[in-house]
Structure 1
Amino acid sequence: MEIVLIRHGQPTVDKNVKLSATQFANWLDEYNNSSIVQANKPPTSLTEKISSHFVISSDLPRAINSAKVCVGKKPDLIIKHLKEMPIPHWSLPLITNAYAWIIINGLMWAIGLHGQVDSLWCCRKRGKLAARTLSSMAEQKQNIAVFGHVIMNYYIALQLVRQGWRANFTGKKFWSSLTLTRQ
């Protein structure tokens, strides 16, 4: 059995744009509704590896679109709890780029300041649920490819390794994958 956790392709939203806290909140909405840059293609080796896998995706457009680009079809199944960990947005008196806002707000979220979004504890629980779901799905389908997001993929992989799956990680860039196998 094999589960391949794949990070989506590059989103169409610019991470280098300078933003105030209010603008960052709007940027987050754009990011969560963004597709992927069409010129950013997946590696041929990935496309070939998962060509016959059962395809699953988170419900965010960038993951769904990545599945379409990579395997040439819509996902066979879309699972809501595969979406990325939420990024809170705090009204701080800063103007900085979107990537810096992600880091600042992500660190605040990690130490427990989650504001209007799910806490880290809730998201870890969602990762456990996703891992159980994917493990069951792999028992039925044998080989599955999952288009998701970097942090959630990490939490899912941790849970799968705890369940006895073996992992082979290729990085955390766009189109990177984490292959988990079990006899």
Structure 2
Amino acid sequence: MAYHSASRLKYLTTDVGSNGMDKQATKEVVLIRHGKPISAHNDKINAAQYTKWVRAYGKSALDPQSTPKHKTHLNNSYVIVSPLRRAKLSAEYYGVDYIDEECALLREMDIPYYKLPFRLKAWHWVLLSRMLWFFGMTGRFESFSSAKARVAALTQRIEMLTEEHERLVLFGHGMTNLFTRKKLMKKGWRLKSKDSEFWGVTVLYK
């Protein structure tokens, strides 16, 4: 199963401002990127070290120095969390004791890694590897085409849930949030706000 449901508690947090919200809108989708992983250093490394960096990133706890610039409210919201540790820890930081749904479709698009004869800063490796991945270069990780198909399935799941819930809040990841946002906008959702940084909150409405 790609997801499962559980009961959850409702609670209050500080709300992000509502500038630009269409008064007629009744549905809202909030995409929250996880906080910064403590392993996310930017040292200059070779390809083998970068592979280890990717694996450590996937298992990492959050950097305690990384905190949200803003926290959106979660009142009357259906909360969905990626199964990856950094997303779960981010939801916990928000005060989530119980989630409505843990959804495997929401996990990050795999970070690719290749054997290349370079020494680069870690985040330059991410950028280069993503570019090669976009152009179809494969490896021991999810392909770009498979990742896009998963996002399409996630978008369908989101739209189905908005038939029952006025507000969805998803604790996810940078690339998955980006492609989910684009897919939703193609389906007629409007962008209220966008932030792709760690802890960034992107809001769409319809």
Normalized against structure 1, the TM-score is what?
Answer: 0.90
1:22 corresponding residue in structure 2? 48
Which whole-Å deviations, capped at 9, do the CAs of 1:122-142 have from their partners, x for residues lacking one? 111111100111111122222
Structure (1/2) with the larger helix percentage = 1
Residue segments in structure 2 that go unaligned for 5+ positions in a row: 1-26
What is the identity, as a one-letter code, of the residue corresponding to 1:135?
E
2:65 corresponding residue in structure 1? 39
CA distance in 1, matches of 2:192, 2:59: 30
Structure 1 stretches of 4+ with a deviation exceeding 4 A read none
Output the aligned Cα RMSD. Answer: 1.6
Structure 2 residue corresponding to 1:59, chosen from 51, 72, 83: 83
Normalized against structure 2, the TM-score is what?
Answer: 0.81
Instruction: Answer whether contact 1:7 1:148 (CA < 8 A) is retained.
Output: yes
Instruction: Answer whether contact 1:6 1:145 (CA < 8 A) is retained.
Output: yes
What is the identity, as a one-letter code, of the residue corresponding to 2:62?
I
Which whole-Å deviations, capped at 9, do the CAs of 1:90-142 have from their partners, x for residues lacking one? 11122222111111111110111122222222111111100111111122222
- 1:68 and 2:92 matched: yes
**17 and 2 in structure 1: CA distance in 2 versus 1, 3 angstrom threshold:** same
Identical amino acids, percent of aligned pairs = 29
Task: Compute the displacement of 1:15 (Å).
Answer: 2.8
Structure 1 residues 152-171: aligned runs within 5 Å = 152-171=176-195
Structure 1 residue corresponding to 2:131, chosen from 100, 103, 107: 107
Residue segments in structure 1 that go unaligned for 5+ positions in a row: none
**51 and 174 in structure 1: CA distance in 2 versus 1, 3 angstrom threshold:** farther
Structure 2 residue corresponding to 1:3, chosen from 14, 21, 29: 29
